[in-house]
Amino acid sequence: MEKHKASSPISCDFKLGYHNCDDGNKRGKEGKQHRYAFQTRSQIDVLDDGYRWRKYGEKSVKNNKFPRSYYRCSHRGCSVKKQIQRHWRDEEIVVTTYEGIHIHPVEKSTESFEQILRNHHIYILSL
DNA sequence: CGTCTTTGACCCGCGC
DNA sequence: GCGCGGGTCAAAGACG
């Protein structure tokens, strides 16, 4: 699912910070992780992409009245994370950030990732 | 009864 | 050292 390119230009005045997660320090797990994000115009903040997610945290962000939710793939051995956050200005815009790669097939076969992309007018920001 | 949410505490790096 | 901002843990409860 990492081959979806952003076909439509986005006018976003916010930028996703690429956190400088240095490998080989305290964490020592995986150093470089795939991280990409997209934003959505939707009232629903949690897009069902076919995987099962378990929420493990929620923190409020500065300069943003809406909190940010942290999810993790509930499959054993799969440590894909994602966080969902609303835009600071428009409540309608939802920013979803993925991190990691799934090591197992998708469980639910309801919607494919492409369909979700089309249905919700998702714009991929960076990958 | 198993899975997932909720929510405060905890940890860590950074600046003062 | 202390507070802050951001990320995670884990116990208890909700929900099917």
Nucleotides of strand B within 7 Å of the protein's CB atoms: 3-9, 12-13
pLDDT in tens, A21-53: 333 333 333 445 577 777 777 666 666 777 888
Using the CA of A57, give the nucleotide whose C1' is nearest: C8
- The more confidently predicted of residues A17 and A89 is A89
Q: Report the nucleotide nearest the CA of residue A58, measured to C1'.
A: B7
**Does this model's pTM top 0.95?**
no
Integer Cα distance of A49 and A14 in angstroms: 24
The pLDDT, as a whole number, for residue A55 is 92
Burial of A96 (0-12, 13-18, 19+ CB in 10 A): buried
